[in-house]
Structure 1
Amino acid sequence: MAAPTLVTTDAGRVRGFWRTRGGFRSAAFLGIPYAAAPVGALRYAAPAPVVPWTGVRDATAYGATPHRFDDGLTLIPEPSIPGDETLNVNVFTPNPTHSGPGLPVLVYIHGGGFTSGSPASPWYDGAAFNRDGVVTVTVAYRLGFDGFGAIEGAPSNRGVRDWLAALEWVQRNIAAFGGDPARVTLAGQSAGGGAVLTLLGMPAAQHLFHAAVSFSGAIADVAPDRAARASRRLAALAGVAPTREGFTSVPEEELWKLQEAAGRPEDAGALTVVRELLHEGLPWGPLVDGELVPRPTVDALAAGIGADKPLLLGTTDDEFTMVTDGLRKVLRLLPPSLPLSLFLPRRSVRRAYLAANRSLRRRGTAATVGRYVTDRLFRSLVLRVADARVAAGGPAATWAYSFSWPSPTRRWALHCLDVPFWFDCLDAVGVADVAGPRPPRALTAALHGTAVAFVREGDPGWTPWSAQPGVTRVFGAPASAPDIITDGYAGARPLVS
């Protein structure tokens, strides 16, 4: 049995355990609560302080997850763990008794479209970062309607408030685990990458971290009227009033089953649903409430919020091109301009987009439409964020990357494929399903090494976008192609107004 190790937090002592991964020994402390269980009267409340405990609390197994009623079988294995104390963190540290200067800290927020995902995934284990001298923290937060729905009589953005509470916990406690609270890098993937950008543009979060990494970030920036419409629809589907009392009367599982339908336009066809997703973003997620989130993320960054914090961001080349694979036969005889006209009605924009992506024509119309989905949801956001940061003229740099290595099992450099490379966990369960049985170790060294360099030094090692707009580090490019290109997101530029 693994030897225990004890740490004293501000709420009480916790017992973690030592383990050896890849020949390196580090300690893990799992399921430590950073806020009280959000149940009963606290279900739709802002995160409340933890009640201190006496004795030693066991932290050797992952805590309960807000991810519910789901087997976790997505591209990333993300288990659902029952229980009430869902607002918890996991801490991975090289040495909790570290006596010298505190080590740099990586705080990671998982993805899942703001409605799913779990910090208990084996892909998010911090062992490799520990090996390289980085304390790692993964965060659970309320999801879907419970975390982000607009409710009369309840505080807005409860999931965002959870992120803030977790980061406050890190500031108060991470030194006890060997970390330096003044050297916290915030990172996340997909919706987690969007969370990072939201926090980067939030005045209330500026004191809680000093650098940011957004992997395949997708933001929500839900408008108040859209949020209110979705909540009213959810209440109607559940047969209750759209108030805190009404929603509290409905079991959590029932609301979870209804929230997907409630987030769609009422009586809308599939095409309308897709258009809204592409042009308005995710239906559940951070709400632009004018208070905690005062303005849309890109506007906040353009105004200089977070401009003193270094930022690394990028995407995979074909995040969601896989969604059109099933349409290859249907679309093979159609020119790309025809299906794209359903989403890009302005002919000038459509022509500019097709001209900027001329090389995709060889891969067929389905591939071109799939790339458009990727560009609309992910790659154009890199341009908007990087350009906003340049316009703000802040003191900290912005770097961009792209991940181009295609999955040997899924054809594309698709969504989530890069995560086990960043975490250097190629042997974890589920990785072979998307990366094949022999994923390239050199690619892991490049991505993970970049993440470590950025967390430790604040510089990933190539020319920043802020010095030369467009410059992009390419990971997984063919051997004959350069690693650094001058305009890595040119294909998405026509979509940025």
Structure 2
Amino acid sequence: MSKPAGPVVRIGPGEVRGFWRGEPGAPGASAAFLGIPFARAPIGELRFGAPVPPEPWDGVRDALEYGATAQRGDTGITLIPEPSVPGDGTLNVNVFTPRPGERDAALPVLVYIHGGGYVAGSPASPWYDGRAFNRDGIVTVTVSYRLGFDGFGHIAGAPSNRGVRDQLAALEWVQANIAAFGGDPGRVTIAGQSAGGDAVLTLLGMPAAQHLFHAVWALSPALGDVTAERARTLSAKLANLAGVPPTREGFASVPEDRLHALQDAAAAHDFQNPRSGVRSVLADGLAWAPAIDGDLLAQPTLESIRAGVGADKPLVLGTTDDEFTMIMDRAKGRMRFVPASPALRWLGLSREVRRAYLAANPAQRRKGTAALVGRLVSDRVFRTGVVRVAEARADDLDRRGSGALDPAAAPTWAYRFAWPSPTRTWALHCLDVPFWFDCLDEPHVAAIAGDDPPRALAAALHGAAAAFIREADPGWTSWSGGRTRIFGGDPTKPEVDPDGYASVRPLL
């Protein structure tokens, strides 16, 4: 029996052909359209420029394979499988839909932005396939954007925050074209994990992006605004390493692979002194990330959110319990006899904060000093951000309505993913992603979640995500002082903790 012909839809630049997964019309069937350009290849004169709409094409363009990725080469073993795809046309989208060509279907839309610290990651991950969301009646789009210095480095005379501009261009493409795939441009939820989580919060706080989406889900966001001064300093350091002037022409003269190698050196922290190295990582955050440019980003994201930008957008955000605790696993033996309080002092915590933090984290303290330090890193980089963002939105409500509910404001919901990995010990960074996408059968999942991950947990987390995308409500009580849904926690305790991030409050 021959396979059904791939569906063809017409979008702005021309027609594209995808392929079916399952029999058209059968339960669970969906179509995939891969590697559709939303902008021209950022090479030659377009390198370091703002994204430019793609050239129209004649005939039907096959969208059967993932497009080129901004990530280059083999990044080695990572927690999420994110393959690199060679090629120049790195600005592309992948669309997964149960109703291709049905413009009147008006299904809700999920646009997912991958993580990777803004220097790695790929929209071609099998974990990001939208088939489970398609099953739930949701059109899913994964997008690419320029990474590292190409996407985020400061260059005098070139557009700033080029990676953010790519994300905006991809969202503009969704607004213009998603109806052809059965999606409703008036019901777009943006979501992302890690750097992708930061990306969607950046967009939430960006006035120029408000017309492009209607709700936000941020998984493990690491707030990463780079100051203008630091952006200029890093750029000058990179130019010095490359031996070129810090201009668009100078950087363009450096081969791509060499610039990628040098960007790591320019951003490297000095670990000759471990204490100052770790503390600088915690203080400085990511190097190549959205920068305060006075244009797209006039102020830090948190300040923008506190000022009310994006207040009308429903928001869900949360973290795993031990995002980066695993980085201290190798030090467990060496730190066995190191008292907890001196270790925290070594990382810059004052006496008062140390006492409060230890009192708030007794269970983690019992696991040893290495586990406690790892939790502190997780808290400083990821988990405090949940509280800061949630309370910034609450602060805005208070200022505008003296504590009364503003009818134009939308709720904020928080969650924690508390299920520990049977292979990696912790409820670690990225562990929640295959549960969120409900792709536990994907072969790479076992490495991080074991051979028999709990399907009920995937049903709960993915179900909450699908409900939020469809109905703007994930199904539990909103923040209001700290209320937090716990996924995969102690089954003898309530699912909603009245202050689920209380353990990080001493750090605020």
TM-score computed with the length of structure 1 as normaliser: 0.97
The answer to whether the Cα contact below 8 Å between 1:96 and 1:176 also exists between their aligned partners in 2 is yes
Is 2:17 the partner of 1:50? no
Please give the residue correspondences for 1:275-286 in structure 2 after superposition, counting only pairs within 5 Å. 275-286=279-290
1:7 match: 9
**Mean CA deviation greater in 372-381 or 1-10:** 1-10
1:222 match: 226
2:446 match: 432
**Matching residue's letter, 1:444:** A
Residues 401/266 of structure 1: CA separation in 2 closer, same or farther (3 Å cut): closer
**Matching residue's letter, 2:185:** P
| Alignment partners' CA distance in 1, 2:340 and 2:30 | 52
Quick one: percent identity of the two aligned structures?
Answer: 64
| Alignment partners' CA distance in 2, 1:265 and 1:489 | 30
Q: For 2:268, which of 264, 269, 273 is the aligned residue?
A: 264
**Matching residue's letter, 1:342:** W
Q: For 1:422, which of 429, 436, 446 is the aligned residue?
A: 436
| Alignment partners' CA distance in 2, 1:58 and 1:204 | 33
**Mean CA deviation greater in 9-18 or 351-360:** 351-360
Q: For 1:413, which of 427, 444, 456 is the aligned residue?
A: 427
Is 2:85 the partner of 1:85? no
Is 2:489 the partner of 1:477? yes
The answer to whether the Cα contact below 8 Å between 2:51 and 2:169 also exists between their aligned partners in 1 is yes
Is 2:106 the partner of 1:110? no
Please give the residue correspondences for 1:171-320 in structure 2 after superposition, counting only pairs within 5 Å. 171-265=175-269, 269-320=273-324
2:39 match: 35
2:159 match: 155
SS at match of 2:93: strand
Residues 135/460 of structure 1: CA separation in 2 closer, same or farther (3 Å cut): same
Residue deviations 1:395-436, cap 9 Å, x none?
A: 100000000000000000000000000001001131000000
1:267 shift after superposition? 8.6
**Matching residue's letter, 1:323:** I
2:403 match: none
Residues 266/232 of structure 1: CA separation in 2 closer, same or farther (3 Å cut): farther
1:452 match: 466
1:358 shift after superposition? 1.8
Q: For 1:346, which of 344, 347, 350 is the aligned residue?
A: 350
The answer to whether the Cα contact below 8 Å between 1:201 and 1:297 also exists between their aligned partners in 2 is yes
Residue deviations 1:113-144, cap 9 Å, x none?
A: 00000000000000000000000000000000
Q: For 1:398, which of 412, 421, 444 is the aligned residue?
A: 412
The answer to whether the Cα contact below 8 Å between 2:103 and 2:179 also exists between their aligned partners in 1 is no
1:322 match: 326
**Matching residue's letter, 1:18:** W
**Mean CA deviation greater in 405-414 or 236-245:** 236-245
The answer to whether the Cα contact below 8 Å between 2:103 and 2:180 also exists between their aligned partners in 1 is no
| Alignment partners' CA distance in 1, 2:344 and 2:62 | 54
SS at match of 1:105: strand
1:72 shift after superposition? 5.3
Residue deviations 1:333-391, cap 9 Å, x none?
A: 11111111122242111221111112212111111000000000000000000000001
The answer to whether the Cα contact below 8 Å between 2:35 and 2:66 also exists between their aligned partners in 1 is yes
**Mean CA deviation greater in 343-352 or 291-300:** 343-352
Residue deviations 1:224-247, cap 9 Å, x none?
A: 111111111111111111111110
The answer to whether the Cα contact below 8 Å between 1:320 and 1:371 also exists between their aligned partners in 2 is yes
Residues 331/324 of structure 1: CA separation in 2 closer, same or farther (3 Å cut): same
**Mean CA deviation greater in 15-24 or 201-210:** 15-24
1:478 shift after superposition? 2.2
1:23 shift after superposition? 6.4
SS at match of 1:430: helix
2:503 match: 491
1:203 shift after superposition? 0.3
| Alignment partners' CA distance in 1, 2:230 and 2:272 | 15
The answer to whether the Cα contact below 8 Å between 1:171 and 1:181 also exists between their aligned partners in 2 is yes
Residue deviations 1:157-184, cap 9 Å, x none?
A: 0000000000000000000000000000
**Matching residue's letter, 2:352:** S
SS at match of 2:422: coil
The answer to whether the Cα contact below 8 Å between 2:270 and 2:276 also exists between their aligned partners in 1 is no
1:98 shift after superposition? 2.5
| Alignment partners' CA distance in 2, 1:269 and 1:252 | 31
2:142 match: 138
**Matching residue's letter, 2:204:** L
SS at match of 1:250: coil
**Matching residue's letter, 1:441:** R
**Mean CA deviation greater in 356-365 or 377-386:** 356-365
* 4+ long deviations beyond 4 Å: 265-268
**Matching residue's letter, 1:404:** A
**Matching residue's letter, 2:368:** G
The answer to whether the Cα contact below 8 Å between 1:277 and 1:283 also exists between their aligned partners in 2 is no
1:272 shift after superposition? 2.6
Residue deviations 1:417-469, cap 9 Å, x none?
A: 0000000100113100000000001001000000000000000111101xx21
1:99 shift after superposition? 5.1
